Amino acid sequence: LGKQPWWKDATFYQVYPASFKDSNGDGWGDLPGLISELDYISDLGVDVVWVSPIFESPQKDMGYDVSDYQKIYEPYGTNGDVDTLLRESHKRGLKVILDLVVNHTSIEHEWFKRSRSSKDDPKRDWYIWKPARYDENGIRHPPTNWRGYFAGPTWTWDELTQEYYLHLYAPDQPDLNWDNDDCREAIYEETMRFWLDRGVDGFRIDTVNKYSKRRDFVDAPVTDPTSADQPAPEMWCNGPRIHEFIHEMHRKVLGPYNAVSVGELSNTPHPSQVIPYVSAAAKELDMVFEFSMIRLGNGNGFGAKYIYQPFPLSTLKAVTHKWQSFIEGTDAWATAFCENHDNGRAVNRFGDASTPEWWLKSSKTLALWQATLTGTLFLYQGQEIGMTNMPESWGIEEYKDIESGNFYAEAVESGDEKRIQATMHGLQIMGRDHARIPFQWDSSPNAGFSSADAKPWMRVHDDYRDINAAKQTNDPGSILNFYKYALKMRKEYRDLFVFGSFELLDPDNESVFAYIKESSVPRGLDGASRKALVILNMSQEEKVCLDIAQALGCLLTEVNLLIGTTGQSEVALKGGQPTLEGWEGR
Ligand code: TEU
């Protein structure tokens, strides 16, 4: 393998701070709470903690709307708490990365207040301002017909200076103008070096491919004639100067600080577009999150995101294969993940949460899938205990996310009962809220997230007495202990699982997901390389096991079971045939 950067075989663990652990009973998670659980995180066997945004913010989008990059949002704690977090983490051999949200700021940020104050303000050009268009009746329209990610137009009219400003997300999140040199320098200095100087190890970089907008500001093609606003990601994703900007960020900040970086790369489904961001020679980003897998089930077109589109297992397999093998023969690097704070829980989307038995079995099988994938592995808080989506019986009032609220409101406005129901159904599977409910620590009131008399900012799941970390810590057959074991195995056989190649078997099989990981490191006297066969039964039905020896091209006596979700060392024989139980993985 040669010498590899440390972050390649590291496992990252994402903490959503508002929902992880509340130390002071205000119902909102905080840094002292996170610090108090660092032993839990470290015992899991992960290497890096990624903390979602903790900066000063009006919280219109849960801190992805920053009003002061150098100050911690008071309910989370203080800058001093960050120092403690860094010290206590580093002591345990954990690194810490923060969430860097610099495509946009909050409207409450000083920069934007200055920018909107006058057309002559030196910071006017730090945001994207455009004059209105007027039709033949003198009615005012935005400069383009673009639809934003959270529904509605990407432009908001500002009375004071009589122009529109651009926002790809909420009107409270105006886009910064990266074409302005001073603006970029301020981002590097005030949002990045400030925290790197304090000892932060790197950043998860929000919406990293949207900094360079196309300069012509033209209308997007009309794909939805019923709407005033049209999907237009090609107007702002992977724009003309994007690689120049990211390379500059690397040269001026990430490189000199030796900071690890993982960028969020939505709307970029072609390997040829992804490679330039993560090729080592390009010196841009260490890693990115490519979205094809995490988007499975989303409806097409912006307005349709929450109209659920069922997909067959073969699609999940094909997408996994594509984003496992795209780095072969390149100097680029991959990531593996199936959860984050913007999506429903994996067991509800890719596993089976229909009964406690299938929940347990499928959560372990998903763990085995993730732990055997090539690239750097990212876990999301609660994934390791199989936390599930909010119950379907919970009404729309339990959904707090701005995107959920806006898409639901849009459906209601349409007056179309079918669309309202379909949107609710989609939200129940894919809503961003599911991942944001309080972490289930134990069976005490409020799941041990907050004190018993507190009112958590999101409702605690009804099932927390059955699904919680304390219970699973003491149960050798738990999902949590399976994760710990799987992460150890992943490290021990890193040449196979982290660095190995990926070969998909039987791509059309709609029940069994099987693949071979092969190491490039020769072993034994004959110089042959080690292989692992991963077989995951992604269905409730028993399935005849494929011919293991044949798949691996060796004798069955040469095959060892490294890990299995049932704890059985032998494959069960049913009617003389080796058989996998429902949702068994080996
Ligand atoms: O998300 C960016 C993004 O493009 C989406 O994945 C996002 O989930 C949204 O649902 C698109 O419809 C990042 C953050 O992860 C997200 O939480 C923020 O809301 C967003 O940026 C804006 O900062």
Average pLDDT, the chain: 96
More confident residue, 163 or 522: 163
What number does the ligand 1 atom closest to the CA of 305 have?
12
- pLDDT of 116 above 80: yes
Give the Å distance between the CA of 169 and the centre of ligand 1: 8
pLDDT of residue 298: 97
Mean pLDDT (whole number) for 222-226? 87
pLDDT of residue 575: 78
Instruction: Read off the pLDDT band of 226 (50, 70, 90).
Output: confident
Catalytic residue from among 47, 61, 172, 206: 206
Torsion on CA atoms 363, 348, 385, 87, rounded to nearest 10: 120
Give the Å distance between the CA of 492 and the centre of ligand 1: 35
Give the Å distance between the CA of 342 and the centre of ligand 1: 7
Ligand 1 neighbourhood includes 16 CB (under 6 angstroms) = no
pLDDT of residue 505: 97
pLDDT of residue 524: 67
pLDDT of residue 558: 86
Mean pLDDT (whole number) for 551-567? 90
Exposure class string for 224-238: b at 16+ Cβ within 10 A, else e: eeebebbbbbebbbb
Burial of 125 (0-12, 13-18, 19+ CB in 10 A): middle
More confident residue, 541 or 571: 541
Backbone φ and ψ for 74, nearest 5 degrees, come out as: -55, -45
Mean pLDDT (whole number) for 357-369? 98
Q: Helix, strand or coil for residue 281? A: helix
Ligand 1 neighbourhood includes 513 CB (under 6 angstroms) = no
Nearest to 102 by CA among 184, 45, 16: 184
Q: What is the DSSP letter of 413?
A: H
pTM: 0.98
Mean pLDDT (whole number) for 123-141? 97
Ligand 1 neighbourhood includes 169 CB (under 6 angstroms) = yes
Mean pLDDT (whole number) for 462-470? 98
Nearest to 350 by CA among 321, 291, 310: 310
**Which residues are CB-contacts of 159 (< 8 A; sequence separation ≥ 6)?**
none
Ligand 1 neighbourhood includes 290 CB (under 6 angstroms) = no
- pLDDT of 306 above 90: yes
- pLDDT of 153 above 90: yes
Nearest to 51 by CA among 91, 1, 6, 86: 86
Residue type, 285: L
Catalytic residue from among 9, 22, 201, 264: 264
- pLDDT of 474 above 80: yes
Helix (H) or strand (E) holding 347: helix 346-349
- pLDDT of 104 above 70: yes
Instruction: Read off the pLDDT band of 545 (50, 70, 90).
Output: confident
Give the Å distance between the CA of 2 and the centre of ligand 1: 36
Ligand 1 neighbourhood includes 584 CB (under 6 angstroms) = no
C-beta separation of 100 from 249 below 8 A: no
Is residue 206 annotated as a catalytic residue, yes or no? yes
pLDDT of residue 340: 98
Ligand 1 neighbourhood includes 401 CB (under 6 angstroms) = no
Structure tokens at 148: 């934003």
pLDDT of residue 347: 98
What number does the ligand 1 atom closest to the CA of 402 have?
19
Give the Å distance between the CA of 404 and the centre of ligand 1: 12
Q: What share of the chain is helix, strand, coil (3-state, %, to 5)?
A: 35, 15, 50
Ligand 1 neighbourhood includes 302 CB (under 6 angstroms) = no
Exposure class string for 249-286: b at 16+ Cβ within 10 A, else e: bbebbbeebebbbbbbbbbbeeeeebebbbbeebebbb
Name the residue of 342, 400, 410 to mutate for ligand 1: max ligand atoms within 8 A of Cβ.
342
Which residue stretches of 3-60 are H helix? 31-36, 38-44
pLDDT of residue 521: 86
What number does the ligand 1 atom closest to the CA of 61 have?
19
pLDDT of residue 79: 98
Of 63-67, 91-95, 192-196, 568-572, least confident by mean pLDDT is: 568-572
